[in-house]
Amino acid sequence: DQQVKQNSPSLSVQEGRISILNCDYTNSMFDYFLWYKKYPAEGPTFLISISSIKDKNEDGRFTVFLNKSAKHLSLHIVPSQPGDSAVYFCAAWGGSYQLIWGAGTKLIIKP
């Protein structure tokens, strides 16, 4: 059973508008969440993270929101730019060696 779910395989957004990528998790023991960005034929790169003791973390155009009661987090990108077109992975850490990964959402920014 998937513990981290990204239910939208793809998302298309107009350049300059807000992109919102969603992620749901089932394990309440997760206490740290990460977002990675991946371009084709490259490895994922770390984008932003959030600890479970916070409900928001911001880094430039990127903001991650965490709703622990709903077991839901979202990544907001404002404003969206063409270079943001990539696959975005959500991952959760629960204290072991492993990260638990979502299946990814492909973001397409339209000019």
Partner 1 sequence: DVKVTQSSRYLVKRTGEKVFLECVQDMDHENMFWYRQDPGLGLRLIYFSYDVKMKEKGDIPEGYSVSREKKERFSLILESASTNQTSMYLCASSLGQAPDTQYFGPGTRLTVL
Residue ranges that bind partner 1, judged by CB under 8 A? 6, 9, 31-32, 34, 36, 41-46, 49, 51, 89, 93, 95, 97-99, 101-104
Whole-number minimum distance, CB 30 to partner 1, in Å? 10
Whichever of 20 and 48 has its CB closer to partner 1, that residue is: 48
Whole-number minimum distance, CB 61 to partner 1, in Å? 20
CB 79 within 8 Å of CB 50: no
